[in-house]
Structure 1
Amino acid sequence: MSHEDARLQARPQQVSHAARPLPPGLHPLGQGEGRDGLLRVPPAALAAPLPLVVMLHGAGGDAAKALRRIAPIADAALVMLPESLGDTWDVLLGGYGPDVARLDAALQRVLAAWPVDPARLAIAGFSDGASYALSLGMMNGELFSHTLAFSPGFAAPLHFSGRTRCFLSHGTADAILPIERCSRRLMPKLEASGFAGKYMEFPGGHEVPEAVARAALEFLGAG
């Protein structure tokens, strides 16, 4: 399967809540090809079924940087941190395909092993990762109940499938992806296309303030 249509086949499974396959902490995601990604397992006190946040890094980033963006809320969910094959995600480098395929394979492994709550299954991202998350979320609403886009630049869906709930945040002083030509244009288009959600501006730059991360967690219903 080429994944050029950006459709993800992974779905949550019926998994026992009795035992976790891995202890709390960071573990390799198992993507291979030199860009392995990470899986962060929350503290044992977090009851199953678990919220899942698939967090995508920005251009030139990696799993560790993506995790730091949402560090204040990482204990509230199982956090999957895939990495792009290139410096950024495939749609910005020629079209959907390679990164979608790797993400799908990693999601299938995680969802087969972990008791994940289908009603709190989010794709999230920062900067280029936010644009990619928003695009994939709009095309895979049967899988992702929520999409959390921190400072996105664009959305490039090839089609709509389901209706993921969208959270967008953006700094009013963002010099890298200016808010006027990014989120202030994106959110009205999302709403016009039937995507319900929440939009949050904050006085700051290209970042994810703790208050924004916590608002996104509340939006997911995992706070």
Structure 2
Amino acid sequence: MKKSGDAAGMTRRQFGVMAGGLFAGYVFQGLCRVIDAAPSAQGRLTARPGATPRESGTAGAGTHALGLASPRDAILQLPRNASPGPVPLLVLLHGAGGGAGGVLRRVGEAAGEAGLGVLAPDSRGSTWDGIRDGFGADVMFLDRALARVFGMIAIDPARLAVGGFSDGATYALSLGLINGDLFRRVLAFSPGFIIDGSRHGRPRVFISHGKSDPILPIDHSSRAIVPGLRKDGYDVTYREFDGRHEVPAAIAQEGMRWVARSRQERRRDDQDMTCNKRMGEGETLSRICQVVGRAS
């Protein structure tokens, strides 16, 4: 009888352990589902520019460390020649093994000349999370950095863009398509591929690539990416150049001016494109421009 009682006691203990383990497993699975459903896990950014900054006057021309993390943080660069009113902003992402300071040295001067503000964050690891495994920590940090900048300065939502070089271009292109309702333009200098994700909005895209790139060969990257985007209905400006894995000064300047263009300048460009297309179809210039002018 004693043995039977001991066996029953052991069974109860075993049942308790088993039930506790099952409960912990259900809790863990539930947490995983919550984490997977979080916007950051889908590459979605939640920060949005407001009508007025909450910390008005806290940032002037020059570079500012945001102080969100150490040692890898984020830098805000504001132009000295900015036009009055809200600032056009480019979120600029570095390549693998790099950092904010390096990508600013590469194209920061061209951004300043174009009158662009630049937010350059550091990735949490050696490169961006979506390239290594899945979206997560880098998206959350970028959300924090954007929220901080939106609170510091007035941003022009119509000229809010994301861009990058190499791995940063891959990540910018991917985040830009997923967050096309936030970023109106996407700038990719030598991207490798596009990370899958649910796309929102319809941003315009600028891509450049060196014909002799040994790191991300052009035939397997941009020459495959660009036709796919155009097939999906995206407006893509594409520049190939004689060079390697780099951003030539002329390409950087063109890309930054492309981001900084005002709505009126973009409208004029669209009208010019329409005129040129219809002239090629045989219509007279005066007739075309009358029609386009009325449509605008």
- TM-score per shorter chain, which class? over 0.9
Amino acid at match of 1:164: P
Question: Which shows bigger deviation, 212-221 or 155-164?
Answer: 212-221
Higher strand share: 1
Question: Which shows bigger deviation, 104-113 or 148-157?
Answer: 104-113
Equivalenced residue count is 221
The one of 113, 125, 149 equivalent to 1:110 is 149
Q: Give the 5 Å matches for 1:84-103.
A: 84-103=123-142
Q: Give the 5 Å matches for 1:191-206.
A: 191-206=230-245
Report if aligned partners of 1:142, 1:162 keep a CA contact under 8 Å in 2: yes
Q: Identify the residue that residue 99 of structure 2 maps to in structure 1.
A: 62
Q: Give the 5 Å matches for 1:1-223.
A: 1=38, 3-15=40-52, 20-43=57-80, 45-75=82-112, 76-222=115-261
Give the direction of change, closer, same or farther, for the CA distance of 1:221–1:74 in structure 2 (3 Å limit).
closer
Amino acid at match of 2:233: G
- Return the alpha-carbon distance in structure 1 between the equivalents of residues 137 and 216 of structure 2: 25
> If the length of structure 2 is used for normalisation, what is the TM-score?
0.71
Give 1:72 shift. Answer: 3.3
Which aligned segments of 4 or more residues in structure 1 are displaced greater than 3 angstroms? none
Give 1:214 shift. Answer: 1.5
- Return the alpha-carbon distance in structure 1 between the equivalents of residues 41 and 70 of structure 2: 20
- Return the alpha-carbon distance in structure 2 between the equivalents of residues 131 and 20 of structure 1: 34
Amino acid at match of 1:166: V
Report if aligned partners of 1:163, 1:195 keep a CA contact under 8 Å in 2: yes
> If the length of structure 1 is used for normalisation, what is the TM-score?
0.94
Report if aligned partners of 2:64, 2:76 keep a CA contact under 8 Å in 1: yes
Identity of aligned residues (%): 46
Superposition CA RMSD, Å? 1.6
Give the direction of change, closer, same or farther, for the CA distance of 1:45–1:135 in structure 2 (3 Å limit).
closer
Report if aligned partners of 1:10, 1:104 keep a CA contact under 8 Å in 2: yes
Higher helix share: 2
Give 1:155 shift. Answer: 0.6
Give 1:157 shift. Answer: 2.9
Gaps of 5+ in 2: 1-37, 263-296
Report if aligned partners of 2:82, 2:116 keep a CA contact under 8 Å in 1: no
Task: Determine which structure has greater relative contact order: mean sequence separation of CA pairs < 8 Å that are 6+ residues apart, divided by chain length.
Answer: 1
Secondary structure of 1:3's partner?
helix
- Return the alpha-carbon distance in structure 1 between the equivalents of residues 151 and 241 of structure 2: 38
**Bigger radius of gyration, 1 or 2?**
2
Give the direction of change, closer, same or farther, for the CA distance of 1:139–1:2 in structure 2 (3 Å limit).
closer
Secondary structure of 1:107's partner?
helix
